[in-house]
Amino acid sequence: MKALIILLAILAGVWLWRSGRQKNLENRGRPPAGPPSNGGGTPSMVACAVCGVHVPPADAVTGRQGSYCSAAHHHQAEG
């Protein structure tokens, strides 16, 4: 009877170890979670209408035809 209880305890331990290991292997294959949503941490970016460079909205130069990364690109596009 004592041997049966020990055997069951060993089998339960092996089963728990394998199930935990299986979850770790599954999580390893997944790509990391994407960037957090823009809940206020970082400002969203806008693309320059001329060169496509992304700049924060506070640094962008806004014109009639879109946003620009610099005044030079604003004058180049809307001249």
Whether 38 is covered by a domain: the verdict is no
Same domain? For 47 and 79 the reply is: yes
Number of domains in the chain: 2
Same domain? For 71 and 50 the reply is: yes
Pick 9 or 18 by higher pLDDT: 9
Whether 37 is covered by a domain: the verdict is no
pLDDT computed for residue 44 by the predictor: 86
pLDDT computed for residue 25 by the predictor: 67
Whether 24 is covered by a domain: the verdict is yes
Whether 36 is covered by a domain: the verdict is no
Q: pLDDT at residue 18 above 90?
A: no
Whether 17 is covered by a domain: the verdict is yes
Same domain? For 52 and 79 the reply is: yes
In order, the DSSP letters of 28-75 are HHSPPP-PPP-SSSS---EE-TTT--EE-TTTPEEETTEEESSHHHHH
Q: How far apart are CA 37 and CA 44, in angstroms?
A: 10
Model confidence over 20-48: pLDDT tens digits? 877 776 666 666 666 655 665 666 899 99
Containing domain of residue 61, as a range?
A: 43-79
